[in-house]
Amino acid sequence: MNKSEFLSKYGAWAVVTGASDGIGHAFAEQLAERGLNLVAVARRADRLDELAHRIRAKHGTEVLVVAADLSAPEGLAELERTTQGMDIGLLVASAGYGTSGPLLQANLKQERNMLDLNCYAVLEQCVLFGNRFAQRGRGGIILLSSLVGWQGVPQAAHYAATKAYVQSLAEAMRIELKPKNIDVLASAPGPVQSGFAARANMVMGAAVSPAVVARTSLNALGKQGRVIPGRLSKLLTYSLLPLPRGLRSLIMGKVMGGMTKHQDAGGGWPVSQRFR
């Protein structure tokens, strides 16, 4: 759809979580280019303020900064309070983080926190804004899945499981919300140049840019239910999908093993870090 059609359906405000960096940052920039005002959400207020200043100067659109940790109930409550009464028509739930390494060496406190952010926070946002969009009569939701969400992935077992949850949630919501004129899209990128590798203690080769992920996802919204940004991600995904899930897990385990083999020399499970 063109810019005016996009604004008509999803304007005047969009919520973008994880907007301080990576994919969320790219979504914020591209939505501002399409003329939408933004509610930019992340933990780092200084990064959000920089984003808001740049977008206002470049695009002339408004940016409301919400510095909140969405893994905590207080952060989710702050987002709900701040957006109450606003004409929001689009949610991009991009906040999340990941871990890598052997599951039995996991830091359960960190893993629980990742589960809260990657899964429960996404669920609560979908219910909150989905109901608002239904009352509004139109809207859109973009959830960030991953190519690791299509099967179990050794060396990233829990992170992959959280992305499988997001993928399944998006697929079901798309059917439920279509009669209410709400578009739902699951965007499932592979490796992204977003700081993910360093923060999840992984070494990656070829990766797609956050701008490509955002542009591909926005162009697909309202036309399809899932999108796989980047040629390499498409090639890997579609070559694996015909295979039995067990074999796919073995192959992805080999891939992830190559990305995490440096951890053997480092002595254990990495500290979980946020990304996007």
70 φ/ψ angles, rounded to the nearest 5 degrees: -75, -5
d(C-alpha 89, C-alpha 36), whole Å: 10
Contact 187, 163 (CB under 8 A): no
- The CA–CA distances, whole Å, from 7 to 11, 25, 172 equal 4, 19, 26
- Would the pLDDT of 78 be above 80? yes
- pLDDT bracket for residue 111 (50, 70, 90): very high
The dihedral region occupied by 222, where left means phi > 0, alpha psi between -120 and 50, and beta the remainder, is left
Contact 166, 118 (CB under 8 A): yes
pLDDT tens, residue by residue, 134-178:
999 999 999 999 999 999 999 999 999 999 999 999 999 999 999
Q: Does the pTM exceed 0.75?
A: yes
Catalytic residue among 159, 165, 234, 254: 159
- Would the pLDDT of 113 be above 80? yes
- The whole-number average pLDDT for the span 95-120 is 95
d(C-alpha 86, C-alpha 75), whole Å: 18
| Residue among 226, 229, 131, 216 at smallest CA distance from 182 | 131
pLDDT tens, residue by residue, 168-208:
999 999 999 999 999 999 999 988 765 444 444 444 456 78
Active site residue 178: no
Q: How many residues are listed for the chain in this entry?
A: 276
- Would the pLDDT of 270 be above 50? no
- pLDDT bracket for residue 37 (50, 70, 90): very high
- pLDDT bracket for residue 237 (50, 70, 90): confident
Q: Is the peptide bond before 12 cis (omega within 30 degrees of 0)?
A: yes
- Would the pLDDT of 268 be above 90? no
- pLDDT bracket for residue 259 (50, 70, 90): low
Query: Can you spell out the DSSP letters for the chain?
Result: --HHHHHHHH-SEEEEETTTSHHHHHHHHHHHHTT-EEEEEES-HHHHHHHHHHHHHHH---EEEEE--TTSHHHHHHHHHHHTT--EEEEEE--EEE--S-GGG--HHHHHHHHIIIIIHHHHHHHHHHHHHHHHT-EEEEEE--GGGGS--TTSHHHHHHHHHHHHHHHHHHHHHGGGTEEEEEE---SBSSSHHHHTT---SS-B-HHHHHHHHHHHTTT-SEE--SHHHHHHHHHHTTS-HHHHHHHHHHHHHHHHTTHHHHTSPPPPEEE-
- Would the pLDDT of 232 be above 90? no
Catalytic residue among 3, 163, 165, 234: 163
Which CATH code, of 3.30.1490.20, 3.40.50.300, 3.30.70.3040, 3.40.50.720, is assigned to 3-275?
3.40.50.720
Q: What is the pLDDT of residue 275?
A: 35
Contact 214, 171 (CB under 8 A): no
d(C-alpha 16, C-alpha 28), whole Å: 6
- pLDDT bracket for residue 241 (50, 70, 90): confident
Q: What value does the mean pLDDT of the chain take?
A: 89
- The whole-number average pLDDT for the span 219-242 is 90
- The whole-number average pLDDT for the span 74-86 is 97
Chain mean position to CA 98: 12
Q: What is the pLDDT of residue 36?
A: 97
d(C-alpha 26, C-alpha 33), whole Å: 11
Active site residue 159: yes
Query: Where are the chain's structural domains?
Result: 3-275
